[in-house]
Amino acid sequence: MQRIRLVFLVFLASNLNAQKPRIGIADSLYATGSYAKAINAYASLGTTSAGLQIARAYRAIGNYEKALLQYETIVKESPALQIASFELGKLLLKVKDYDVARKLFSKLVAINNQNPEYHYYLGEVYRELEQPASSLVAYKNAIEIDSTHLRSLFQLGKYFTIKQERDTALRYVDTGLRFYEKDVSLINLKALIYYNDGRFEKAIPWLEKVLALGEQKEYVYEKLAHSYYKEWEFESAKETYTELLKFNDSNSDYYYALAETYRKNKQMDSAALFIRKGMDIQRPVLAKGFMALSVLAREKDDLKLALDYLQLAVKEDPNDGMLFFRLCTLIDRYYKDPDLKLKYFESYIARFGTKVPYFSMMAKKRISELNEEIHYAKESTD
């Protein structure tokens, strides 16, 4: 009996030694990206670990269907092998099979409740299933186990940012930044929290950090430029809007924003130049440009030119009640004829009714005043 046992052990050792070179070859093929050859090499080994590598190779080449089948086989044959179930769950999440992924991650959490990754991915599944309450519980469980779990902290910060719960959002974001102060996602989120809250002075340094860390994205420049403008940092705003135009020089809004920055900085000629550039791009929709030119003309006390531009704006967009009301008020200011003024205000009420209660109230008040003025003017001539 001992002789038989000895022969078996010798055979087993010999077989393992023979497999070592083949495992090394398969691992080398996998590591260098020769996945098809690696799959064939692993298939000849017939071990569970080799099967797991086959699943990974299929996933690497994008053959998710075969990867799923391979993972499912391993999970069925080796249910205690958590790594296979974990990788299968992540792949199910990737292919959007959320309900099956939820069941799998829930099972993993039940098996090992102290693994923060299991809780995090369960949260991701619930988020995709649009079950925010359950996803929040999962993310919070992850950071309770591992207070440095940045992805869970980010998701919690993001959720409360969207909900405009600033203080709660900042608490999660700041917790993450204490562990890794250069995390771009968290820095970006902190900038967004302040920006959305209208705290542009606080948003600026965080937006600047995002750019400094290499996130040279259009939306970052757009928010930074607007923040500079709101904080009256006009030179910085102009520079940033100029950079923004390098991303998209066909966006008329950027030209108008740059023009508004020059206007605020009392550089009227430059403002007019960028308004016209915006109008050239925006053609044939020019109402916004004519409106901006009208504002510039009014600031120069050239009411006639302002009126001309405003009439062009109304012509371009006759259904814009705000534009028409502005035209009424400018005509009221420029002309002396009360009958002409009355005509325009009555036209506003007839066309736009009570769409904007404040404008309608002002128009009706002015109509009453003009009728009274016309009435007394007639009495004085009788």
Is 289 found in the same domain as 221? yes
Whether the pLDDT of residue 81 is over 50: the answer is: yes
Q: SS3 sequence, 97-151?
A: CHHHHHHHHHHHHHHCCCCHHHHHHHHHHHHHCCCHHHHHHHHHHHHHHCCCCHH
- CATH number, domain of 306, equals 1.25.40.10
Whether residue 366 is contained in a domain is answered as yes
Is 237 found in the same domain as 313? yes
The pLDDT of residue 19: 54
Whether residue 253 is contained in a domain is answered as yes
Q: How many domains does the chain contain in total?
A: 3
pTM, entire model: 0.69
Is 192 found in the same domain as 242? no
Whether residue 270 is contained in a domain is answered as yes
User: Structural domain of residue 176, as residue ranges?
Assistant: 153-213
Report the alpha-carbon angle 47-98-88, nearest 5: 10
Is 226 found in the same domain as 190? no
The residue among 178, 213, 248 that closes a domain is 213
Q: What share of residues in the chain are helix, strand, coil (percent, to 5)?
A: 80, 0, 20
Is 222 found in the same domain as 208? no
What digits encode the pLDDT tens for the residues 320-372? 888 999 999 999 999 999 999 999 999 999 988 777 888 898 999 999 999 88
Q: What is the DSSP string of 195-237?
A: HHTT-HHHHHHHHHHHHHTT---HHHHHHHHHHHHHTT-HHHH
The answer to whether the beta carbons of residues 215 and 192 sit under 8 Å apart is: no
Least confident range from 34-48, 61-75, 166-180: namely 34-48
Whether residue 61 is contained in a domain is answered as no
| Average pLDDT, integer, range 35-58 | 90
Q: What is the DSSP string of 248-275?
A: -TT-HHHHHHHHHHHHHTT-HHHHHHHH
Mean of per-residue pLDDT scores for the chain: 89
Is 277 found in the same domain as 230? yes
Is 225 found in the same domain as 200? no
The pLDDT of residue 193: 96
Is 189 found in the same domain as 259? no
Is 237 found in the same domain as 197? no
The pLDDT of residue 273: 87
